[in-house]
Amino acid sequence: MVDKGTVIAEGTADQLKARAGVSYCEVVPVEAGDVDRTVAALAGLGEITVAESKDRVSLPAPDGAITLAEALRRINDAGIEVIDIALRRPSLDEVFIELTAPRAEASES
């Protein structure tokens, strides 16, 4: 991976993605109005993020498929229908942003 002409990371796509963090679970309810119910159903599984489009939520899945299965169980128990629920890994774009983002500690100095 190159930033402004400088190599900032090397490795396969899988190796680079592993550096950017854990997988995450993404849930897309059938009804956009069910996003709040989905957030409530998933409470306690991790830091839940609602997409800017307000039609999907995501949460960290450090345990991979175990987190996905628990999310699906909770969503089913809440009676929420989903269009999609999946375990996702960071994209190479997200890896690049993670590797090139200014660090908070650098701005505090």
Domain-located, residue 45: yes
Q: How many CA atoms lie within 13 A of 47 on its CB side?
A: 2
Domain-located, residue 107: no
Domain-located, residue 55: yes
User: Per the confidence metrics, is the pTM higher than 0.85?
Assistant: no
Which CATH number does the domain housing residue 95 bear?
3.30.70.100
Q: How many residues does the chain have?
A: 109
Domain-located, residue 109: no
Tens of pLDDT, residue by residue over 36-58, are 999 999 999 989 999 889 999 99
Q: Which residue range forms the structural domain that includes residue 61?
A: 2-102
Domain-located, residue 96: yes
SS (H, E, C) the chain: CEECCEECCCCCHHHHHHHCCCCEEEEEECCHHHHHHHHHHHCCCCCCEECCCCCCEEEECCCCHHHHHHHHHHHHHCCCCEEEEEEECCCHHHHHHHHHCCCHHHHHC
Tens of pLDDT, residue by residue over 59-75, are 999 888 999 999 999 99
For helices 65-77 and 35-42, the axis angle rounded to 10 degrees is: 120
